[in-house]
Amino acid sequence: MILENIKSSYKEIFESYYNSSLEDHIKKIVELDAYLPYSSTFFCITNTQSLSFEYISKNMSSCLGLDYDVMKSKGMNYFWSRMHPDDIEPWLQALNELMKFTLSNILVEERSKMSYTWNYRIKNAQGVYLNVIQNTTPLEFDNNDKPIIGLAHYTVLHSKIKLPVSATAKLLNDNNEYETKYFNNFSQKLLSDGITNRERDIVRLLVLNKSSKEIAEKLNISVNTVDTHRRNILKKLNIKSTGELIGMMKTHDYFIL
């Protein structure tokens, strides 16, 4: 996915129909930011209509080391250009599915109570890809009641943490508690699409520490066929050993359900 094509390829996410007034929101958030301590989180007011940041909190530079003025002037395109290439496509799928879910399943009067979370990796000023978990709550809507302005909170985590790209939509209920209305693991989906059903069967048995001989007997195929499947699985998932495969699957066991 070429970054310049993001808006055209997923225009249904970004297309909207009027310019919102943010003066009151920005004024209050700017006032709040002055009192917040420095931490590993920061927040922005995002505008998907103009692909700009209406406001960026002071912690952004502390978390990512990026220049405030550059990020403010260049907006979302600059921020996206620093995203890990492997995360761009699942991240866009996550945004697309969240938007479709909202417009199809959430009542207009409830959309202001929604909260959305997704994750990806961003390259910091030192060239290290850090994990970012973004939680966005809508502030303003267009004439079609589509959220276009959001208050986005970003939590920055260490680069060595392995996080599949996932997306969640939650609704604040009458008890002021968030209920999960939507969840999807897009890394899981990509993995599931990449291997066959027979290979999935073999992965399940490998996680149970079964040998090739035991897997062959269980599936009523030859040992050579099992070993061929094992090699193909490693190649498709771009990993080097069965041990690495088993470790990955045990860490994210939902991959193989």
The pLDDT-based confidence of 203 (bands split at 50, 70, 90) is: confident
Higher pLDDT, 184 or 23: 184
Query: Is pLDDT above 70 for 211?
Result: yes
Which range has the worst mean pLDDT, 130-134, 180-184, 238-242?
238-242
Q: Does 165 share its domain with 210?
A: no
Determine contact, residues 14/49, Cβ cutoff 8 Å.
yes
Single out the residue in 167, 187, 207 at which a domain terminates: 187
Q: Does 182 share its domain with 215?
A: no
Determine contact, residues 144/75, Cβ cutoff 8 Å.
no
What is the pTM assigned to this prediction?
0.69
Q: What is the 3-state secondary structure (H, E, C) of the chain?
A: CCHHHHHHHCHHHHCCCCCCCCHHHHHHHHHHHCCCCCCCEEEEEEECCCCEEEEECCHHHHHHCCCHHHHHHHHHHHHHHCECHHHHHHHHHHHHHHHHHHHHHCCHHHHHHEEEEEEEEEECCCCCEEEEEEEEEEEEECCCCCEEEEEEEEEEECCCCCCCCEEEEEEECCCCCEEEEEEEEHHHHHHHHHCCHHHHHHHHHHHCCCCHHHHHHHHCCCHHHHHHHHHHHHHHHCCCCHHHHHHHHHHCHHHHC
Domain count, the chain: 2
**What CATH number corresponds to the domain at position 228?**
1.10.10.10
Q: Does 220 share its domain with 156?
A: no
pLDDT at 192: 57
Single out the residue in 156, 187, 218 at which a domain terminates: 187
Q: Does 79 share its domain with 124?
A: yes
- Cα–Cα distance between 142 and 138 in angstroms, integer? 11
pLDDT in tens, 105-127: 999 999 999 999 999 999 999 99
- Cα–Cα distance between 13 and 117 in angstroms, integer? 16
Q: Does 58 share its domain with 173?
A: yes
Instruction: Express as a percent the part of the chain with pLDDT over 70.
Output: 84
Instruction: Express as a percent the part of the chain with pLDDT over 90.
Output: 46
The pLDDT-based confidence of 75 (bands split at 50, 70, 90) is: very high
Lookup result for tokens 């002055």:
34
Q: Does 103 share its domain with 12?
A: yes
Q: Does 205 share its domain with 121?
A: no
* Average pLDDT score over residue span 153-165: 93
* Average pLDDT score over residue span 86-99: 89
CA angle at 135 for the pair 131 and 138, rounded to the nearest 5°: 150
pLDDT at 117: 96
Q: Does 11 share its domain with 57?
A: yes
pLDDT at 8: 60
Instruction: Provide the token pair at 66.
Output: 């990026």
Single out the residue in 147, 163, 187 at which a domain terminates: 187
pLDDT at 143: 80
* Average pLDDT score over residue span 158-175: 90
Q: Does 48 share its domain with 116?
A: yes
Query: Is pLDDT above 70 for 4?
Result: no
172: which strand partners? 178
Q: Does 157 share its domain with 93?
A: yes
pLDDT in tens, 11-41: 566 565 554 556 776 788 888 888 889 889 9
* Average pLDDT score over residue span 220-247: 86
Q: Does 132 share its domain with 234?
A: no
Mean pLDDT of the chain: 85
Q: Does 175 share its domain with 216?
A: no
Which residues span the domain enclosing 70?
3-187
**What CATH number corresponds to the domain at position 24?**
3.30.450.20
